[in-house]
Amino acid sequence: MAHGDEAPSAWVKRWAHLIAPQGRVLDVACGRGRHMRLLAGLGHTPLGIDRDAQALATLADLAPHGETLLADIENQPWPLPHQQFDGVIVTHYLWRPLMPHILNSLAPEGVLIYETFAAGNETVGKPSRPDFLLQPGELLRICQHLHIVAFEDGFQSQPDRFVQRIVAVRTTQSTPAVRRFHL
């Protein structure tokens, strides 16, 4: 099974309802678009960014309900400066230098749904390099200026893996810290 052919992440499915209706959603390192398809099906307009042209080609049928952008976001400048989205999805991907760009891509009231591998994963499989594993509480620290809706850090089975995941919202100064979330 190719990356992106799997079913959408249960974490993304669980929290996608927090994204504003008909919102623009950025899917970072989207692969073959498992989350783009989910989001388009929920009425959103996803933009998937990836460096794999073959993977992006599998998403041609999403037009006009979704778009793709071919870009090497690790070795070239961030291709979406000053663009903001109602939601940003990141799964199974970690490149720490992009974190400021990812956070700046959130519009006011924008929802970040992030899930990737964490320290401990080296004991059960790949990825195993520390560069690709979140350290304990790292997503909490990265998102400290956002409103944290949900956070998990630990072991998951089937398949065995260590993950860290967060749902956080960029609130505005006029938005109260307590929101109308439907959990």
pLDDT tens string 129-154: 888 888 999 999 999 999 999 999 98
d(CA 146, CA 5): 31
Question: In whole angstroms, what is the distance from residue 62 CA to residue 132 CA?
Answer: 30
The Cα 45–Cα 125 span in angstroms is 34
Residue 108 reports pLDDT greater than 90? yes
Residue 178 clears pLDDT 50, i.e. is over it: no
Question: Averaged over 97-108, what is the pLDDT?
Answer: 96
> Residue 90 contacts by C-beta under 8 Å, 6 or more apart in sequence?
27, 28, 29, 102, 112, 113, 114, 115, 116
Domains and CATH numbers, the chain: 10-169 (3.40.50.150)
**What is the chain's mean pLDDT, rounded?**
90
3-state secondary structure of 16: helix
Instruction: Provide mean pLDDT across the span 41-64.
Output: 95
Residues 6 or more apart in contact with residue 37 via CB below 8 angstroms? 8, 62
Helix or strand (DSSP H, E) at 39: helix 34-41
Q: How far apart are CA 72 and CA 52, in angstroms?
A: 9
pLDDT at 173: 61
Portion of the chain with pLDDT greater than 90, in percent: 72
**pLDDT score at 1:** 46
At 57, the pLDDT band (50, 70, 90 cuts) reads very high
Extended strands (E) in 129-175: 147-156, 161-169
State residue 133's pLDDT score: 84
Tell me what pLDDT residue 54 has. Answer: 96
User: Which pLDDT band, with edges at 50, 70 and 90, does 11 fall under?
Assistant: very high
